[in-house]
Amino acid sequence: MGVIGGMQSRPSGLSAMASLSATATYACLPCGSIQVKSDPRDLLRFRRPSASLSRSSAQNLSTLRHGVRRTDIILQNRFTRQYQIKYVQSTKCAVNSALDNQVESGEESDEEVCELVNGVELVLGGGDDSFNAYLLKAVKNNNGAAVLLLSDVFGFEDSGTRDFAYRLSCNGYNVLVPDLFRGEPWHKERLQSEFEEWRRKHLPERVASDIETSSKWLVDEFAAAGISDKLGIVGFCFGGGRLVETLARDAQSHFGAAVCFYGTRIDPSLAAHLKIPVLFILGENDPLCPIELFHKMESQIKGSQVCVYAGRGHGFAHHPESPEDDEDAEHAFTAVRNWLHKHLLQNINVSD
């Protein structure tokens, strides 16, 4: 194990449209500004509004099977210097020397990478057992692969989770973010003493069932198309722990690549049941994620890697709180992009 550029890595042996009475543009995303077309009451929480908004037609989206469309969002290309994805400038080792070569030699992203991304809110499942999910589809550069993104306790509407999903979609992926808490995520304003009571309301069996429903929907919608017959899976914090459980139950081998960001409440004994490589991304100063636990799991999962970012804490990659967090979050995203490409797309020829 070595420390390169501040990061440790050790090799081992992922409704109908309504008119608007107000306008707002969200330029928070690293790859462009967004136009939102929906009732103002349904606007999803992003970071900082800064400009204008107009309607679009739901016909811009292809027909989706098995889901009910609720919101139509289009990402329009408008790169900013502040958020432009810096593939070439990345200087740190990403997971191992082979992947690091991909990070440093990756082409500089151009304006066409994020030319158009379609977003739609869906209702999955049926009847009283239905739940919401958010889907982002790359349009111009769609690579045909799908990724299931499992949120932290702040839920599928959290701005950090949405931003990360947009960035994945900007890089060609179709990303589904299910509402694991069925409209009742944890809020930072609540007392910490209430957390365990809140957590007990969200039964593990129900969460697992919703993840399974989401996985099957992605298989039907994308994997069945034959471009990439495996799904990617990415999880943050709570979602990272559920990622490990999901892979341990993956009897039908739906998944081909996984990225676990500082996963919590993980049973390390499940590692023996995982059949695909997992990229574990951690912060050195994260009290919730014992580094040695993840190295132990790494040794049991063929092809897996543990990346420890020196000086970083919990949530640094999708909730950065300092310039140093921003820099390492940027690098971690590039490592994720390359990991998914390697394990989902490397041997797939996608036609134009």
pLDDT in tens, 244-298: 999 999 988 999 999 999 999 999 999 999 999 999 999 999 999 999 999 999 9
Q: Are 107 and 96 in contact (CB under 8 A)?
A: no
Domain ranges of the chain: 2-14+82-345
Q: 102: pLDDT confidence band, cut at 50, 70 and 90?
A: very low
Return the number of other C-beta atoms located less than 10 Å from residue 123's C-beta: 16
Helix (H, G, I), strand (E, B) or coil at 114: helix
- The pLDDT of residue 245 is 97
User: Tens digit of pLDDT for each residue in 4-58?
Assistant: 344 444 433 332 222 222 222 222 233 332 233 333 233 222 222 222 222 222 2
Helix (H, G, I), strand (E, B) or coil at 159: helix
CA distance 94 to 337: 11
Task: Calculate the alpha carbon distances from 328 to 286, 320, 336 in Å.
Answer: 14, 9, 12
What is the DSSP track for 216-275? HHHHHHTGGGSS-SSEEEEEETHHHHHHHHHHHT-TT--EEEEEEES--S--GGGGGG--
Q: 222: pLDDT confidence band, cut at 50, 70 and 90?
A: confident
Tell which CATH architecture fits domain 2-14+82-345: 3-Layer(aba) Sandwich (3.40)
Radius of gyration of the chain (CA): 19
Helix (H, G, I), strand (E, B) or coil at 176: strand
The residue type of 295 is H
What's 342's DSSP letter? Answer: I
